[in-house]
Amino acid sequence: MDSILILDFGSQVTQLIARRVREARVYCEVVPFHRAAEGLERLRPRGIILSGGPASVTEAEAPALPPQVLEAGVPVLGICYGQQALVAALGGRVEQGHAREFGRAHVEVVASSPLLEGLWAPGSRHQVWMSHGDRVVALPEGFAVLARSEGAPFALIADEARRIYATQFHPEVVHTPDGARLIARFVHAICGAAGDWTMAGFRATKIADIRAQVGDGRVICGLSGGVDSAVAAVLIHEAIGERLTCVFVDHGLLRKGEAAEVVRLFRDHYNIPLVAVDAQARFLAALAGTTDPEAKRKAIGATFIDVFEEEAGRLGGADFLAQGTLYPDVIESVSFTGGPSVTIKSHHNVGGLPERMNLRLVEPLRELFKDEVRALGRELGLPDAFVGRHPFPGPGLAIRIPGEVTREDCDLLREADAIFIEEIRNAGLYDAIWQAFAVLLPVRTVGVMGDGRTYDRALALRAVTSVDGMTADCYPFDPAFLSAVATRIVNEVRGINRVVYDITSKPPGTIEWE
């Protein structure tokens, strides 16, 4: 299978480069720049893309271009900092102190190139997205200018003989309208990647990988009630059959009716061995008195591990623990560069297992984005009603209740959240929204209901549109819809007297919507 290696220099939108490459049906992986040698050895890629980053190549401690990039003999595309790192390594010059460009700009194409064939013609102008303070002021030997902007005379450059290309602008973001086509042109026309990466092919490859990893061993899979763990379980079951046992833990932090739905799907539809554990009291006890979000995550993760360890013992032992870890979990949880964007968040699925468990991890979805997991779920035959469900991270309601988590607050939030989702479905909006949920705020407000005053809780509603959860925009509900939802919640959920709608969007690099 052809692949592209993306070396990350710390940009907040590096994952969007991977999105564009995969949209061109070419497999790729993001690897920290300092692990270039390992990535090249493992993937044997058809080409390399260098991401942007927050550093300045003019500073002594700035990340340098790994020598293996030029030694690999494959085409290279440098983006923003990637361009500057290439130029500095090859003998050109990058300087600070020139006019900065942040936001939309226009480039003028000044020369033809195989990279631009059928895309941009000499003399044409095109909108791009710039985000740079430094800029290239002198090109290395062998390079020529393909396009320039007012603030970047070397906006797009190329050494055609060595198949090295570099842009000062960001083709991966949607604000560069032709950027996805430019990246596709690089991976197909320049790198020669076939563009044959499909979910059917991924399915077959992963099944073979699982069989090779597991051998004759036994696997327990932790079902959370979400799409990711469900798809992982079905894929592993297809690979090893009855040697997989799923463990579904009802931790008391699930959506209304979710526990029964998950058990029914796996016992009736797939006939996968399933153990359902009622651990509500145990999880709530572990969360008692805890208010810090990270401490909640750790408490929930530790309790999950304890439950899985006990169930593995009751099942007569297991060799592997399967999880529905996704690529965004890994990208956002791992320090790639040691720079300002080191770790966006910790994730309950990332970080390994305690040594005492003596279990190895199976994470078959680790290379996929959320929408790709949905596509794989459909490829595996999971019903659309399940595959299309809104994401529901493992910590569940615990991270939608700022402050201490109690059974009473969980019940309150569960009822309000169910009304919100029901009204979204009734309005035919569910599939147009990537994720919607309610948040029980840690404040009380004075209100008037009928002829009396109330002093009850406030509730926030969130709904966003997204492709993969890495970026998101708030959904533009009609005010009449929000008014109807708020009226139902206040009338039907005793203890809530005020409902607000959160219109915050999620730019790249912020914490996930939880």
Q: Is residue 119 part of a domain?
A: yes
The pLDDT of residue 397:
92
Q: Is residue 324 part of a domain?
A: yes
**Parallel, antiparallel, or unpaired for β 244-250 and 274-278?**
parallel
d(CA 308, CA 305): 5
**Parallel, antiparallel, or unpaired for β 135-138 and 93-95?**
antiparallel
**Domain count within the chain:** 3
Residues 27 and 142 in one domain: yes
Per the CB < 8 A criterion, the answer to whether 323 and 351 are in contact is no
Residues 218 and 362 in one domain: yes
Residue 92 lies in domain: 3-190
Of 333, 436, 327, nearest to 391 by C-alpha is 436
**Residue 385 burial (CB count, 10 A):** 9
One-letter amino acid for residue 490 of the chain: V
Taking the model in full, what pTM does it have? Answer: 0.75
Query: In terms of DSSP H, where are the helices of 186-324?
Result: 199-214, 227-240, 258-264, 280-287, 293-314
CATH of the domain at 232: 3.40.50.620
Per the CB < 8 A criterion, the answer to whether 461 and 420 are in contact is yes
The pLDDT of residue 491:
92
One-letter amino acid for residue 388 of the chain: G
Residues 93 and 185 in one domain: yes
Residues 304 and 277 in one domain: yes
Residues 166 and 213 in one domain: no
Question: What pLDDT tens digit does each residue of the chain (514 aa) get?
Answer: 899 999 999 887 888 898 899 999 999 988 999 999 999 999 999 999 999 998 888 888 889 999 999 999 999 999 999 999 999 999 999 987 666 667 789 999 999 999 999 999 999 999 998 887 788 899 999 999 999 998 889 999 999 999 999 999 999 988 899 999 999 999 999 999 999 888 998 899 899 999 999 999 999 998 877 889 899 999 999 999 999 999 999 999 999 998 888 888 887 777 788 999 999 999 999 999 999 988 998 899 889 888 888 888 888 878 898 988 887 776 655 544 443 333 333 444 445 566 666 788 999 998 888 888 999 999 999 888 788 888 877 688 998 999 999 999 999 999 999 999 999 999 999 999 999 999 999 988 887 776 677 888 999 999 998 876 666 789 999 999 999 999 999 999 999 999 999 887 665 444 443 4
CATH of the domain at 470: 3.30.300.10
**Residue 352 burial (CB count, 10 A):** 8
Residues 41 and 142 in one domain: yes
* Strand, coil or helix: 281: helix
The pLDDT of residue 6:
96
Q: Tell me the two tokens of residue 393.
A: 């991270």
Task: Select from 132, 166, 190 the last residue of a domain.
Answer: 190
Residues 314 and 414 in one domain: no
- Catalytic residue annotation: 80, 170, 172
Q: Is residue 435 part of a domain?
A: yes
Where do we find the tokens 């407000």?
445
Residues 462 and 330 in one domain: no
Q: Is residue 401 part of a domain?
A: no
CATH of the domain at 98: 3.40.50.880
One-letter amino acid for residue 401 of the chain: I
d(CA 503, CA 514): 14
Residues 433 and 364 in one domain: no
